[in-house]
Structures are given as C-alpha cells and as structure tokens.
Amino acid sequence: EVQLVESGGGLVKPGGSLRLSCAASGFTFSSYSMNWVRQAPGKGLEWVSSISSSSSYIYYADSVKGRFTISRDNAKNSLYLQMNSLRAEDTAVYYCARESVTQSFDYWGQGTLVTVSS
C-alpha cells in the first residue's frame, strides 16, 4: 500500500525557517517524481514544487522561488521541503504528492500544517 506521511509542520515566526519531510513507503520511491502542494485555510490548492526521480529536474512556483528548496533522499525514501524567509501568506497545509507515470498526482499524504505568525 502506498503511503506518504508528512511531518515537520508547526508554528513559526515571520522570517523563520522550517523543514518539512515526507516519508514514502509501499512503492519504489526512487522511480517517481514527487511534488509539494499547499492549501491555505479555506482556500484552493496551490502547487509549490516538483522534483524528478533522480533530482535532475526541479521546479518551483514563483511565490516560493528563492525561499524554498525541495530535495529528496532516495536511500531514505524521503522527500523534503526547506522553507526559509517564511511569510504569513505561506500559512497552509502542505501535502506531498506522488507524480504518476502519466504526470497526474495519484497519491497524497495527509498533510502537515504550517502556521506563520508572530
């Protein structure tokens, strides 16, 4: 069974940093591109970042470019999102999502809440 479990969320002050993790199991992690998608309270879905299976290709939304860094450790079956210079507008539930071979997002974690507030 495919499982994605996010962790690392919490309350952080504006300007602070946080590192999210996503632990994957039930599939060959190293064969799939992975994504982070966020959802602000009461709002819609916003794609944040993608990383290819071997980390060769990385993409970011303009809203996080230069502040967030996506990475992965295939030996540990883990995906990460390093978030720096956090702003109030980064407050959201952050989901990791597996990108299927057809490029849609076929499995999602349960999400981890990041709250940026003083």
Residues at the contact surface with another protein, assessed by CB under 8 A: 35, 37, 44-47, 50, 59-62, 95, 100, 102-111
Enter the tokens of residue 106: 């076929």
Neighbours of 32 (CB within 10 A): 22
To another protein, the closest distance from the beta carbon of 79 in angstroms equals 15
Q: 12 vs 50, which CB is nearer to another protein?
A: 50
Contact 62, 49 (CB under 8 A): no
Residue 2 vs residues 79, 102, 104: alpha-carbon distances, Å: 15, 17, 16
To another protein, the closest distance from the beta carbon of 76 in angstroms equals 22
To another protein, the closest distance from the beta carbon of 25 in angstroms equals 16
Q: How far apart (Å, rounded) are the C-alpha atoms in residues 68 and 48?
A: 9
To another protein, the closest distance from the beta carbon of 77 in angstroms equals 19
Q: How far apart (Å, rounded) are the C-alpha atoms in residues 51 and 57?
A: 6
Q: 4 vs 83, which CB is nearer to another protein?
A: 4
Read off the amino acid at residue 1. Answer: E
Q: 56 vs 103, which CB is nearer to another protein?
A: 103
Q: 73 vs 106, which CB is nearer to another protein?
A: 106
